[in-house]
Amino acid sequence: MNLSPPRGTRDFFPEDLRLRNWLFGHFREVARLFSFAEYDAPVIESEELYVRKAGEEIVEQLYAFADKSGRRLVLRPEMTPSLARLVLQRAGSLALPLKWYSIPQCWRYERMTRGRRREHYQWNMDILGVDDVAAEAELLAAITTLLSRLGLSARDVEIRVSSRKILQAVADDAGISADQFGPLCVLIDKLEKVPREEVEAEVAALGIDPGIVGRVVDIAALGSLDEVAALVHDESGGIAQLRRLFDLAARYGYADWLRFDASLVRGLAYYTGVVFEAFGRDVDLRAICGGGRYDRLLSTFGGKDLPACGFGFGDAVIVELLAEKGLLPELPPAVDDVVFAFGPELRQAAMEVAARLRHRGRSVDLVLEDRKMKWAFRHADGVAAHRLVLLAPDEWSLGLVRIRDLRSGEERDVPVDEV
């Protein structure tokens, strides 16, 4: 039998889970600092939640199946449709704005590269009910706060920012309908990976003049908002919003992490406004996180739209980046005391001592078998315990236990009720 987990998935041995918990601890702490409430949803969702005809990669990568009753289900590839489903269930009764976060495991049948897997955990933060880039500014503040806590700086990570409204303005000029806009964005996003002629052919297949691709490529090459403003009739105010977002970023103090990147589109059809994606500056890794505004997602599920924006931040690329920068923490098991009895006749006494210590909130590793003293020392060292608590016959007969501080090497005998 093959003992490896299915290709692209991970086992989490205790040391792996310590690292994961450490990272999730930072996700949770930043969510707390920004006052986001945690929610969750099933990892299995109805396939219809993802039936989007825009040709997105994420839909082609679905883990889809029928259950025993024939229901079409998928392992969720992302959290945003589930969030929309939750919000729609309580439409009208939710206090807005709503700031929610979650750390779901997501599944995508991906081509595997470094940091890209077939399952990943994705920290999501979303704000619904705020129709202003103040919301995006707050989300970007959360991302930079998280990255800083992990030991990274603006020298390590760049967050590229743009707005779909720029592309929307170009599309409006070309008379492209609202229905065609999402699929067009998905195709334009492919320009990085797919030859231009292929993208043009697919654009033409949508019934859109492929000439738009050339125009988009020209705009994508521009380096500043001023240059874009000179070329695009931006009636929807996308450029003004981006200017305000960069201003707000300066107020928050994280402007040096951001760069306007006219070529950024993102591959999900539902974004309508600001989009952003973070990358390591001097490493060859895929995106660390990505998100944007999606003001029209709820109506695609038959509900009333709400202004919305958010991001997803995976657990895989960031760990690769931290490893590369030497920023992964050492995370030994958190044991306070190893309790060890010399000989089986003191085993019960050792249990009492362990119970006493645990009652005081200490983490106790009680040695359960007959072992030599040398083994106990080595073991205590291996689990990085703070103290070794020894029960020996002579001391015990006087009501004493021996405590060895494993950092200083200091040893003393202590009455059992002071242990």
Residue type, 65: F
Nearest distance in Å: CB 115, ligand HAM: 6
Contact assessment for residue 332 and residue 150, using Cβ atoms and an 8 Å cutoff: no
Distances from the Cα of 397 to the Cαs of 99, 346, 351, 393, in angstroms?
Answer: 60, 10, 16, 6
What is the C-alpha separation between 124 and 143, in angstroms, rounded? 11
Residue type, 359: H
Nearest distance in Å: CB 171, ligand HAM: 21
Residue ranges binding ligand HAM (CB under 6 A)? 78, 80, 108, 110, 116-117, 120, 122, 124, 126, 268, 287-291, 310-314, 316-317
Nearest distance in Å: CB 99, ligand HAM: 12
56 vs 202, beta carbon nearer ligand HAM: 56
200 vs 315, beta carbon nearer ligand HAM: 315
The DSSP symbol for 167 reads: H
182 vs 314, beta carbon nearer ligand HAM: 314
Provide the token pair at 406: 């494993």
Nearest distance in Å: CB 402, ligand HAM: 50
168 vs 389, beta carbon nearer ligand HAM: 168
Q: Which residues of 309-320 are buried (b: 16+ CB within 10 A; e: fewer)?
A: bbbbbbbbbbbb
216 vs 318, beta carbon nearer ligand HAM: 318
Contact assessment for residue 390 and residue 342, using Cβ atoms and an 8 Å cutoff: yes
291 vs 388, beta carbon nearer ligand HAM: 291
E strand map for 230-314: 258-260, 274-280, 289-293, 308-314
Nearest distance in Å: CB 268, ligand HAM: 6
What is the C-alpha separation between 405 and 416, in angstroms, rounded? 16
Nearest distance in Å: CB 350, ligand HAM: 46
183 vs 310, beta carbon nearer ligand HAM: 310
> 52 Cβ partners below 8 Å, 6+ apart?
59, 182, 269, 270, 300
Nearest distance in Å: CB 401, ligand HAM: 49
**Computed over its alpha carbons, how large is the radius of gyration of the chain?**
27
